[in-house]
């Protein structure tokens, strides 16, 4: 198949899923064309069957806002025509689904029937997309996609609750390419470079936006380290970084926290870790939690959104109400205190993560593509 993938190229989960999906398809002989404003962070351009088309937006003094959607839809038309693409798979509704619809109309005038698959990832529905400023256009774009998928049952419910949707929505979960985890799951990690022998290593990975409740991460860690000697690895950059640094300093625990910034080697950092904290306000799925579990790291998370579909309470970690940092710290201490219990949770986390392997999930996307090409969905 010849597939165009449109995504955000940054460190966010939607870009990661889109990139891993495209690379997996290309490895299996499909021709995959990424169309976005920058090379996606995890994209390996040297691989076979991968193409990258950069979308440029010209600066012009009249523009207060650069018209990215226009440049994107023009680029989609150009690439579809040039390379004979059959499908445009757009990740994140805003503005990708809208731009794809425009491309579809332009191509129709040229006698080309391009199919549009839209994957909704979360904040495009729950936080941004349902805002009155965008809602009409997002609803329109979803209803005019040929196929719509969400990354969890919870996000499907939210989409149907927040918008007037006239289409079927297919749930296709986030996935993990375990090939990338073989090494870290088989090797002894050199954790002594990070912590002393008697210390546990706790980790949080996110874009440090308000939805991630990074202040709760510090609060939970503060409570855990009073009982259990530990270090916190904080991976990612974002608007809350300065606030949480000040919070950690005020609590006297700054020296126990390593701010790692954005990293392309999250799986290696997870290898060091005993516990993953994800106290988000909401997560449609929580790819970061799944990546942790694939690296044998149990998860302390909230019970909101799709997190209960990924993190199984009392098995792979624990779920708590949003903001209940006492409960999250208590659960963390329970897992970390006893080495045998910790090993059991680690094994459970890995076992459950396997359900979301690339091999299990990729066929669902392929079925969607084949169905839409055959026009039978
Ligand atoms: O979590 C973020 O802020 C990034 C965001 C994105 O769109 O890149 O992640 C969303 O998509 C991921 C991949 O499908 C999901 O695993 C995340 O749970 C989801 N984030 C939220 O719903 C907050």
For 151-169, the pLDDT digits (tens) are 999 999 999 999 999 999 9
pLDDT given at position 330: 98
Q: If we measure between CA atoms, which residue out of 280, 122, 299 comes closest to residue 202?
A: 299
One domain for residues 299 and 337: yes
Q: How confident is the model at residue 298 (pLDDT cuts 50, 70, 90)?
A: very high
pLDDT given at position 184: 66
pLDDT at 186 over 80: no
C-alpha 13 to ligand 1 mean position (Å): 5
One domain for residues 282 and 222: yes
Contact call for residues 353 and 299 (beta carbons, < 8 A): no
184-191 long-range CB contacts below 8 Å, 24 or more apart? Answer: 184/267, 184/268, 184/270, 184/271, 184/295, 185/295, 185/296, 185/350, 187/271, 189/271, 189/272, 190/272, 191/272
Say if ligand 1 is within 6 A of residue 356 CB: no
| CA 174, 180, 186, 192 torsion-angle sign | negative
In angstroms, the CA 1 to CA 370 distance is 9
Contact call for residues 235 and 272 (beta carbons, < 8 A): no
Rounded to the nearest 5°, which phi and psi values hold at 280?
-60, 150
pLDDT given at position 376: 52
In angstroms, the CA 195 to CA 304 distance is 32
In angstroms, the CA 338 to CA 335 distance is 7
One domain for residues 185 and 310: yes
pLDDT at 177 over 80: yes
One domain for residues 11 and 74: yes
One domain for residues 41 and 152: yes
State which residues form the domain around 370: 2-175+357-374
* Mean pLDDT in residue range 32-57: 93
pLDDT given at position 337: 96
One domain for residues 201 and 346: yes
* Mean pLDDT in residue range 322-342: 97
Task: Please tell me the total count of domains within the chain.
Answer: 2
In angstroms, the CA 200 to CA 321 distance is 24
pLDDT at 121 over 90: yes
Q: How confident is the model at residue 185 (pLDDT cuts 50, 70, 90)?
A: low
One domain for residues 309 and 319: yes
One domain for residues 256 and 169: no
pLDDT at 187 over 80: no
Say if ligand 1 is within 6 A of residue 200 CB: no
In angstroms, the CA 302 to CA 283 distance is 9
Strand residues in 58-132 grouped as ranges (E): 87-91, 115-120
Is 271 or 90 the better-scoring residue by pLDDT?
A: 90
Retrieve residue 308's tokens. Answer: 């209960």
* Mean pLDDT in residue range 178-184: 78
Say if ligand 1 is within 6 A of residue 13 CB: yes
pLDDT given at position 63: 86
Model confidence, pTM: 0.94
Contact call for residues 190 and 181 (beta carbons, < 8 A): no
| % the chain with pLDDT above 90 | 84
Retrieve residue 203's tokens. Answer: 């980790």
pLDDT in tens, 56-102: 998 888 888 889 999 999 999 999 999 999 999 999 999 999 999 99
One domain for residues 253 and 311: yes
Beta bridge partners of residue 148, listed in sequence order: 118, 169
pLDDT given at position 16: 94
Nearest CA to ligand 1 atom 21: 283
Best residue among 287, 299, 309 to mutate for probing ligand 1, ranked by most atoms within 8 Å of CB: 287
pLDDT at 194 over 90: no
What number does the ligand 1 atom closest to the CA of 14 have?
A: 8
Say if ligand 1 is within 6 A of residue 211 CB: yes
One domain for residues 130 and 247: no
Q: What is the mean pLDDT of the chain?
A: 94
What number does the ligand 1 atom closest to the CA of 211 have?
A: 23
Say if ligand 1 is within 6 A of residue 151 CB: yes
Instruction: Measure the CA angle with vertex 135, ends 285 and 57; round to 5°.
Output: 85
Q: How confident is the model at residue 291 (pLDDT cuts 50, 70, 90)?
A: very high
Could you tell me what percentage of the chain is helix, strand and coil, using 3-state DSSP and rounding each to the nearest 5?
45, 20, 35
One domain for residues 288 and 189: yes
One domain for residues 350 and 315: yes
Specify the CATH number for the domain of residue 46.
Answer: 3.40.50.2000
Q: If we measure between CA atoms, which residue out of 306, 271, 365, 333 comes closest to residue 159?
A: 306
């Amino acid at each position: 198949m010849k597939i165009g993938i449109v995504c955000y190229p940054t460190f966010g989960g939607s870009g990661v899923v889109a990139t891993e999906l495209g690379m997996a398809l290309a490895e299996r002989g499909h021709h995959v064309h990424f169309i976005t404003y920058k090379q996606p962070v995890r994209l390996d351009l040297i691989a076979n069957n991968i193409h990258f088309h950069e979308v440029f937006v010209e600066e012009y003094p009249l523009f207060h806002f650069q018209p990215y959607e226009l440049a994107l839809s023009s680029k989609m038309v150009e690439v579809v025509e040039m390379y004979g693409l059959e499908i445009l798979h757009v990740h994140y509704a805003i503005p990708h689904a809208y731009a794809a619809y425009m491309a579809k109309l332009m191509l129709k005038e040229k006698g080309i029937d391009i199919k549009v698959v839209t994957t909704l990832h979360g904040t495009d529905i729950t936080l941004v997309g349902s805002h009155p400023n965008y809602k009409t256009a997002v609803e329109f774009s979803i209803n005019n996609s040929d196929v719509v998928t969400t990354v969890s049952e919870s996000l499907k419910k939210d989409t149907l609750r927040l918008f007037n949707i006239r289409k079927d929505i297919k749930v296709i979960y986030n996935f993990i390419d375990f090939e990338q985890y073989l090494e870290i799951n088989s090797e002894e990690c050199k954790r002594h470079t990070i912590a002393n022998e008697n210390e546990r290593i706790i980790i949080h990975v996110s874009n440090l936006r308000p939805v991630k409740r990074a202040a709760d991460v510090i609060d939970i860690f503060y409570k855990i380290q009073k009982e259990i000697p530990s270090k916190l690895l904080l991976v990612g950059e974002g608007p809350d970084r300065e606030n949480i640094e000040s919070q950690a300093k005020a609590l006297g625990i700054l020296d126990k926290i390593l701010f790692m910034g954005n990293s392309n080697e999250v799986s290696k950092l997870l290898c060091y870790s005993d516990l993953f904290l994800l106290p988000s306000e909401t997560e449609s799925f929580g790819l970061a939690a799944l990546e942790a579990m694939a690296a044998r790291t149990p998860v302390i998370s909230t019970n909101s959104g799709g997190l209960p579909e990924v993190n199984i309470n009392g098995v792979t970690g624990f779920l708590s109400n949003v903001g209940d940092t006492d409960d999250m710290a208590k659960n963390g201490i329970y897992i970390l205190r006893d080495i045998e219990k910790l090993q059991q949770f680690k094994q459970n986390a890995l076992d459950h993560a396997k359900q979301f392997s690339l091999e299990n999930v990729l066929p669902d996307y392929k079925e969607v593509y084949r169905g839409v090409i055959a026009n039978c969905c």
